[in-house]
Structure 1
Amino acid sequence: MDLLQSVFKDHVREFSCGNLYYRTFFMDSKRDALYVGAMDRLFRLNMNNVTATHCDRDSINLEPSNVAQCVSKGKSEHFDCRNHIRVIQPMGDGSRLYVCGTNAHSPKDWVLYSNLTHLPRHEYVPGIGMGVAKCPYDPADNSTALWVERGNPGSLPALYSGTNAEFTKADTVIFRTDLHNLTTGRREFSFKRTLKYDSKWLDKPNFVGSFDVGEYVLFFFRETAVEYINCGKAVYSRVARVCKRDTGGKNILSQNWATYLKARLNCSIPGEFPFYFNEIQSIYKVPGDDSRFYGVFTTASTGLMGSAICTFTIGDIQKAFEGKFKEQATSSSAWLPVINEGKIHKIVQWTRNGDSQSALLDIFDVTPGEPIQAMALSRVHGSLYAASDKRVLQLRLALCARRYDACVRCARDPYCGWDREAAVCREYMPGLIQDVANETADICDSSISRKSVSATWGQSLHLGSFVKMPEVLQPRAVSWYHYSRDKGRHPITFNKPEKYIETSEHGLLIISIYSNWCHEFEKYKTAMKTWERKQEQCARQNDSNQNTHPNEIVLN
């Protein structure tokens, strides 16, 4: 059995009702529910145990209409012309959900109770029924949507979205719905949108996320770079901002945003010739923390493949909007392989002396051969939820003893701690060894296994790596340290191959550990010369003796 499968056997739970393209998540921690949008279905999963979810009892069917018309336009009957749920947003206190689906390339929206039942007619929500500009026509298109309760004109709730607003995909839009008085149903403010067919506003964007931050709504996307058009074609990542109280222009821009701004997101490896990750694929913000945004960026698919995770602060984004529209130049990056085969990278981040630092802890291959379509993390349940087109998985965040057998790696995981007495990695609690930011160099010294190795003078010495690492992490570096009375604990560098060599299995080869061999060789040469002089003296004496006649008697 594969090592990862055996590790996850008791720590992964699975939900699937067939190949239904599970691609949209909304996590309701108050109700312990994970809502999953799929093809023709909306599911409510039990967050404690997704396996306990019933396919029929815990779902609602939202079948498409006008399938025949969709097929007549050349679309696939069994995929394109189905109703893929692409937007799930809470309304008010979360007792109602706003839901929008592709509806056979004719977008449609609903308002449902959180228990997945329809509203009675007398609770009809104005403006609901047609989903154009609220969610995409095509289930393969990237889009984003956000229900905003506060800060809008008249303090009325509204949906903000970024999507395609036409079947042909010629019109892409950042949109806010009409604002209605929910009591009377009267429209108080008309919708707002980006200027139609203007590439300076939007140029073939792919939206990846949107957030309600203070007085603004932020949209993250990638698009064709209009400022690069004279040099060829390039894709840049963007962040756009609209003011929630925007009521449009008085004349020409009456239905358009008057506060729309956008700026480039720069995710790159700095240097004389920076290496850019131009295409944002995903964006995340910790709930309740508006200070930082974490984005996954990739290079263009036609070039050298690579990906990075970059962090942007809200302060830097605001400076970009308030300045001369230049790109945000500072970001914190970690170069990682392209994430397209169902692998989850577990990364820890911390701040030291004002600088953001990060480290890769582990890699999980949870959906081999399949890309991950959606993820959500719950601290309350200590679980990570990941969806592919075929299933939804629930993974424990604190694997600990299942993944770490040494203090060095265990202490870096924020969910784990090293038990010094039992010599085992456990789920963290006070009293266990933990050092997420790697601030205490010798914190694990007392837990390191010790072994005596004998070697003769002048012999090279090989030390094998005792740290067991998953196969997916083995290509990454292992750090070696040397303890001495003069320097104490200091890292070994491999820039002197005549002294240290790192083996293919991350072991350490110490070349000629006898440090006084030169001095001993000099002593050997001196002794050799002394012996040679004595030999010469003996030879001369023998020569003098040989000068006597052989018949003479020599008296002693």
Structure 2
Amino acid sequence: MGNSERECDFWIKQIFIKSNGDLLFCSSQSMKPQLGLVDGNSLLDKQELHTQIGICSQHEGLNTTAIYVEEGNPNGLPAIYSGIRTGLSLENQLIYRPPLMNLEGNREIYPALRTPIYDSNWLNEPQFVGSFSFSSYIYFFFREQLTAANCNNNKGSVISRIARICKNDLGGKQVLRQVWTSFVKANLNCSLNGFSFNQIQSVTQIEENNQNNNNLFYSTFIAAENTPYQTSAICVFSLLEINKVFDNGPFLEQQSAESGCWATIPAEQISIEGRRPGTCQEDSRQLSDEDLHFAKQHLLMGEQIQPLGNTPIIHKGQTLLTKIIATTTITEKKGENNNKVLLFVYEKRKNVLFKILHKIKEGNAYLLAKYELNEKINLMAILPGEYIYLTNEKRVEQYRIGQCSAYGKNCRNCVLDPFCSWSIPRGECFYLESTHSTSPGWLTDETSIFSCSELIKPTELNVFPGDSLHLKCFGDENKIKWIFNGEKVFESDKYILTKNGGLVLLNITESFSGIWTCLEDENKLVEYLIKVDGENCAKPKSLEQFHAVQREWCRKMDNYRNNLSKWQNLYEQTNEENIKNCPIKEDKLTHLNNNGNSNIL
């Protein structure tokens, strides 16, 4: 049927942990998705594999999601909710709940529920990236082809969405029979100064530790696929704001079937008695046909979900940020809980892992580290406060979250990391121990950043005229600036600012001698003292001086050859033009007359 050999192999696609510790998994076996159950400790089979369509997909490259939920479903029965595409040509686009069975698993209590077939207003070529359960609802994050919009948008372009359904939904009695009656969706807006990062790639969730009892969703977005100038961003969405839009926001309504244009309908004009689309009902089968027809026509919200701060927390050019995971930390300061979220974000093209700190209260994000990986990864997972796990087809790798020694001499990033502390006597970064905060000689949190700046000693570099030098500085390239002897450095024919925050000095002369400082948000990250040795170039004595003189001679020779080549090309071009364009004058014979004047004959 055109499937690859890999797609026909046995692959475990989804694993769910039940409340008793057992593992429920979905596998692809010869193009037949199957469910299995094993003991969480012994990993021995507890039931035979059985075919189950709509939970996981055997197709490579298809983004699907699924979540196992034991509470809030009809009759308290456990259920799996999935976002998937099925069928030979993936024509079935589903948010799906399989039939609810009795606890023994041998009798169907409620039939399956799904989104309709062949109605692109519900789902249109979706790529699902995550699903979550909170209170009475299930939330799905995905991107899809645009269909319902206002007349100014381009149909067919990709847009990011979040959809919500009720766990206790049973579908309608006649209208929307075995179809969700509570389905609503909204746009996710991740943009910067009008530039939209329109394609969601991954999402992770953390609980905000404050009195709001809120949950935050950290998502990676890209602006366009398969281009040499890939741009990515991370946006954070609040569950409270998401529910506010779904519960109180306006809807979009199609003005006419012919126009294809959609207009916003204010919330106060939705006058169905007690039944707002997207709300949960005790028994959805009791809803009137009028209610259900109205719900079918009002699936999309007229208001976008805005991120925290109405802007990405971080954005990077020429990157493809995909997978993201997060863990929270809490530090006690003056009786307040100051939330800090540590993010690990995978960059697919360059195969690197970024470590980012987000301070929720302040809204600031800091790029702490970049780890180069040996192999591509398929999945990431995190044990909060302890370990990060990276997986590929061959192995699972475990790393401590801190990775403090990797900071080297970077005191500032070390103390920003909630899992690390800086030893002043040793000038090194170590994993944070409980005794460090009360022991002298340790910097343990971000309040020590200014102390870090005072501790940074210039790295002395001896160079020679004509050299080029790369000054490294790791940080957020959007916030980094360089200072040379107290003056800000701007890119020119002498300096090149690298995309990673570094600075390349070209054709060094003695005027380059001095202090070069790298700052991020006015905090000193690194400092260099450059000494240009030009005195001994005329009479070199050391091997380094001989090499410097040779480089300078080669550079001058290259310039001479380049200028000579330019002159030769210009001469030949000018000569050809003169031959083509200049008029040819006939030769005339002359002779002198008696007065000494010449006459033309």
What is the TM-score when the length of structure 1 is the normalising length? 0.65
Distance 1:250 1:365, change over 3 A: same
- SS of structure 2 residue aligned to 1:192: coil
- Report whether the alignment pairs 1:306 with 2:311: no
Distance 1:139 1:420, change over 3 A: same
Distance 1:105 1:331, change over 3 A: farther
Q: Give the one of 321, 329, 354 matched to 1:345.
A: 354
| 1:133 counterpart letter in structure 2 | G
Structure 1: distance between partners of 2:164 and 2:449 = 44
Q: Give the one of 179, 182, 192 matched to 1:259.
A: 182
| 2:85 counterpart letter in structure 1 | N
Report the alpha carbon displacement of residue 268 of structure 1 after superposing the two structures with TM. Answer: 1.2
Q: Give the one of 74, 79, 83 matched to 2:2.
A: 74
Distance 1:277 1:331, change over 3 A: same
Whether the 8 Å contact between 1:345 and 1:362 is mirrored in structure 2 is yes
Report the alpha carbon displacement of residue 277 of structure 1 after superposing the two structures with TM. Answer: 1.1
Larger strand percent: 2
* CA deviation map 1:444-475 (0-9, x unaligned): 2452337999xxxxxxxxxx999x656xx696
Whether the 8 Å contact between 1:135 and 1:164 is mirrored in structure 2 is no
Distance 1:334 1:445, change over 3 A: closer
Structure 2: distance between partners of 1:183 and 1:435 = 53
Distance 1:447 1:409, change over 3 A: same
Q: Give the one of 194, 202, 220 matched to 1:282.
A: 202
Which residue is 2:138 aligned to? 217
Which residue is 1:153 aligned to? 74
- SS of structure 2 residue aligned to 1:311: strand
- SS of structure 1 residue aligned to 2:7: coil
* CA deviation map 1:76-105 (0-9, x unaligned): 2x31211221111012222x2211122222
| 1:401 counterpart letter in structure 2 | S
- SS of structure 2 residue aligned to 1:218: strand
Structure 2: any 5+ residue segments left out of the alignment?
251-300, 321-346, 462-468, 506-510, 516-601
Distance 1:319 1:510, change over 3 A: farther
Structure 2: distance between partners of 1:184 and 1:134 = 17
Q: Give the one of 153, 156, 171 matched to 1:248.
A: 171
* CA-atom RMSD in angstroms: 3.4
Report the alpha carbon displacement of residue 409 of structure 1 after superposing the two structures with TM. Answer: 2.5
Which residue is 1:293 aligned to? 217
Moved more, 179-188 or 251-260: 179-188
* Pairing 1:416-427 to 2, within 5 Å after superposition: 416-427=420-431
- SS of structure 1 residue aligned to 2:412: helix
- Report whether the alignment pairs 1:236 with 2:159: yes
Distance 1:333 1:476, change over 3 A: closer
Structure 1: distance between partners of 2:47 and 2:226 = 52
| 1:314 counterpart letter in structure 2 | L
- Report whether the alignment pairs 1:415 with 2:419: yes
- Report whether the alignment pairs 1:367 with 2:389: no
Structure 2: distance between partners of 1:277 and 1:476 = 17
- Report whether the alignment pairs 1:208 with 2:185: no
Structure 1: distance between partners of 2:19 and 2:148 = 41
- SS of structure 1 residue aligned to 2:206: coil
Q: Give the one of 304, 307, 313 matched to 1:327.
A: 304
- SS of structure 1 residue aligned to 2:6: coil
* Pairing 1:526-545 to 2, within 5 Å after superposition: none
- Report whether the alignment pairs 1:318 with 2:243: yes
- Report whether the alignment pairs 1:83 with 2:10: yes
| 1:388 counterpart letter in structure 2 | N
Whether the 8 Å contact between 1:81 and 1:103 is mirrored in structure 2 is yes
| 2:91 counterpart letter in structure 1 | A
Distance 1:147 1:503, change over 3 A: closer
Distance 1:346 1:451, change over 3 A: closer
Report the alpha carbon displacement of residue 189 of structure 1 after superposing the two structures with TM. Answer: 1.8
| 1:307 counterpart letter in structure 2 | S
Whether the 8 Å contact between 1:292 and 1:311 is mirrored in structure 2 is yes
Which residue is 1:435 aligned to? 445
| 2:87 counterpart letter in structure 1 | E
Whether the 8 Å contact between 2:207 and 2:215 is mirrored in structure 1 is no
Report the alpha carbon displacement of residue 250 of structure 1 after superposing the two structures with TM. Answer: 2.0
- SS of structure 1 residue aligned to 2:240: helix
| 1:284 counterpart letter in structure 2 | T
- SS of structure 2 residue aligned to 1:107: strand
Structure 1: distance between partners of 2:111 and 2:459 = 75
- SS of structure 1 residue aligned to 2:390: strand
Structure 2: distance between partners of 1:182 and 1:474 = 53
* CA deviation map 1:214-251 (0-9, x unaligned): 11111111110113597342111111111111111122
Which residue is 2:585 aligned to? none
Distance 1:452 1:394, change over 3 A: closer
Report the alpha carbon displacement of residue 154 of structure 1 after superposing the two structures with TM. Answer: 0.7
Q: Give the one of 26, 36, 42 matched to 1:100.
A: 26
Q: What is the aligned length?
A: 401
Whether the 8 Å contact between 2:366 and 2:476 is mirrored in structure 1 is no
Distance 1:367 1:252, change over 3 A: farther
* CA deviation map 1:100-149 (0-9, x unaligned): 1222222111122223211167xxxxxx7222111113133111111100
Whether the 8 Å contact between 1:479 and 1:492 is mirrored in structure 2 is no
Structure 1: distance between partners of 2:402 and 2:142 = 33
Structure 1: distance between partners of 2:420 and 2:59 = 43
Whether the 8 Å contact between 1:148 and 1:212 is mirrored in structure 2 is yes
Which residue is 1:543 aligned to? none
- SS of structure 2 residue aligned to 1:332: coil
**Percent same amino acid at aligned positions?**
29
Structure 1: distance between partners of 2:512 and 2:445 = 30
Q: Give the one of 52, 57, 62 matched to 1:141.
A: 62
Distance 1:375 1:495, change over 3 A: same
Distance 1:307 1:501, change over 3 A: closer
Whether the 8 Å contact between 1:494 and 1:502 is mirrored in structure 2 is no
Whether the 8 Å contact between 2:483 and 2:489 is mirrored in structure 1 is no
Report the alpha carbon displacement of residue 297 of structure 1 after superposing the two structures with TM. Answer: 0.9
Which residue is 1:544 aligned to? none
Structure 2: distance between partners of 1:478 and 1:84 = 45
Whether the 8 Å contact between 1:312 and 1:331 is mirrored in structure 2 is no
* CA deviation map 1:264-296 (0-9, x unaligned): 111111x2xx11111111110137975100111
Structure 2: distance between partners of 1:256 and 1:133 = 15
Relative CO higher for 1 or 2, CA cutoff 8 Å, sep ≥ 6?
1
| 1:246 counterpart letter in structure 2 | D
Structure 1: distance between partners of 2:354 and 2:387 = 15
Q: Give the one of 367, 372, 394 matched to 2:398.
A: 394
Whether the 8 Å contact between 1:242 and 1:257 is mirrored in structure 2 is yes
